[in-house]
């Protein structure tokens, strides 16, 4: 494996773990705001992002490389409403999508076919991630300030099963 690929995949591992940590902080904030469903959704997202990091970690191990873990920063998650939070989720997922696309471009340039194969799964996954965040934002916009609507959406979010 070329050094440029190894460095980039290690950076992606850090990005995925950072995303997971951010989602866990969002879960905590939702608990504080008394949105147990949204808190549960964020916890599921934390688990998913951790699993994504481990896919990259395991990819390196399977290819005879030793993953290097980098620092994860303390999250600075602030929001007062569910819609603010899910807009941050969408922004986060768009950043991750851009990182995945950059990594794919590097894999193509370096002729790293195993990494390209792995990244196909991530490219599809990111489409789903952005689509899910947009759908939640749309629902929250429709609910507006309606307590009943927000309660219903929170219950739906809490029904999410891990992927």
Query: Could you report the per-residue pLDDT of 60-99, keeping only the tens digit for each?
Result: 999 999 999 999 999 988 899 999 999 999 999 999 999 9
Q: Which domain holds residue 101?
A: 3-158
- What does the buried/exposed string (b/e) look like for 121-149 if buried means 16 or more CB atoms within 10 Å of the residue's CB? ebeebbeebbebbeebbebbeebeeeeee
Q: Where are the alpha helices (H) located in the chain, listed in sequence order?
A: 3-32, 36-62, 82-109, 113-143, 147-158
The answer to the question of residue 136 being in a domain is yes
In the predicted model, what is the mean pLDDT of residues 36-62? 97
The answer to the question of residue 76 being in a domain is yes
The answer to the question of residue 148 being in a domain is yes
Q: Which of 25, 21, 17, 18 is nearest to 54 (CA)?
A: 17
The answer to the question of residue 20 being in a domain is yes
| Domain CATH number, residue 114 | 1.20.1260.10
Q: Which two tokens stand for residue 14?
A: 């850090």
Identify the pLDDT of residue 163: 45
**Cα dihedral across residues 49, 47, 125, 160: positive or negative:** negative
The answer to the question of residue 163 being in a domain is no
CA distance 43 to 25: 9
pLDDT in tens, 101-113: 999 999 999 999 9
The answer to the question of residue 61 being in a domain is yes
């Amino acid at each position: 494996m070329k050094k440029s690929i190894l460095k980039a995949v290690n950076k992606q591992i850090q990005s995925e773990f950072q995303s997971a940590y951010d989602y866990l902080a969002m879960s905590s904030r939702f608990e504080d705001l008394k949105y147990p469903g949204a808190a549960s959704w964020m916890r599921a997202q934390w688990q998913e992002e951790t699993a994504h990091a481990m896919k990259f970690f395991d990819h390196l191990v399977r290819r005879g490389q030793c993953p290097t873990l980098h620092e994860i920063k303390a999250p600075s998650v602030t929001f007062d409403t569910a819609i603010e939070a899910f807009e941050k989720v969408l922004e986060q997922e768009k950043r991750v999508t851009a990182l995945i696309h950059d990594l794919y471009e590097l894999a193509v340039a370096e002729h790293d076919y195993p990494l390209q194969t792995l990244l196909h799964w991530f490219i599809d996954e990111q489409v789903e991630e952005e689509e899910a965040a947009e759908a939640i934002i749309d629902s929250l916009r429709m609910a507006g300030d309606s307590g009943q609507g927000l309660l219903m959406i929170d219950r739906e979010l809490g029904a999410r099963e891990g992927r």
